[in-house]
């Protein structure tokens, strides 16, 4: 991983400091940052919208995700069917094995790690 994960977790905490009610919308490594920050009590969103859950990276480099996922608030996972960082079936199996308390997985057609259906993302974020 080419980033300082601990630094990003602390930065996410700084960004949310002083906010009463908020949601987290994150993509790729941002889903890891948010999940670990939530596990540590540094973020406390009402719910999350996660896109492009980077399963290949998580499995190889972030074993803490397994214990962090059950601590998420209600979370929408949006994932492309053939995302190169983990296909939707593998993400589904991983989420089922380490289930957040309340979540859904929305699978979109596609074979990229791009998430550009802004209407859907906005609809999910607005609840």
Q: How is the chain split into domains, by residue range?
A: 21-125
Q: What is the pLDDT of residues 17-62, one digit of tens each?
A: 999 999 999 999 999 999 999 999 999 999 999 999 999 999 999 9
Six-digit token pair at 110?
């596609």
pLDDT at 80 over 80: yes
3-state secondary structure 82-117: CCCCCCHHHHHHHHHHCCCCCEEEEEECCCCCCCCC
Please give the Cα distance from 76 to 91 (Å, whole number): 13
State yes or no: pLDDT of 1 exceeds 80.
no
Instruction: Work out the average pLDDT over 86-98.
Output: 97
Domain 21-125 has CATH 3.40.50.300: no
């Amino acid at each position: 991983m080419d980033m300082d994960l601990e630094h990003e977790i602390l930065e996410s905490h700084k960004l949310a400091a002083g906010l009463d009610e908020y949601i987290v919308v994150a993509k790729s490594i941002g889903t890891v940052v948010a999940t670990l920050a939530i596990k540590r009590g540094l973020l406390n969103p009402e719910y999350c919208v996660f896109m492009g859950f980077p399963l290949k990276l998580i499995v190889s480099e972030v074993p803490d995700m397994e214990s962090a996922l059950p601590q998420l608030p209600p979370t929408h996972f949006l994932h492309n069917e053939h995302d190169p960082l983990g296909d939707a079936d593998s993400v589904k199996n991983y989420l089922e094995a380490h289930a957040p308390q309340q979540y859904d997985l929305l699978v979109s057609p596609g074979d990229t790690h791009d998430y550009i259906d802004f209407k859907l993302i906005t609809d999910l974020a607005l609840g």
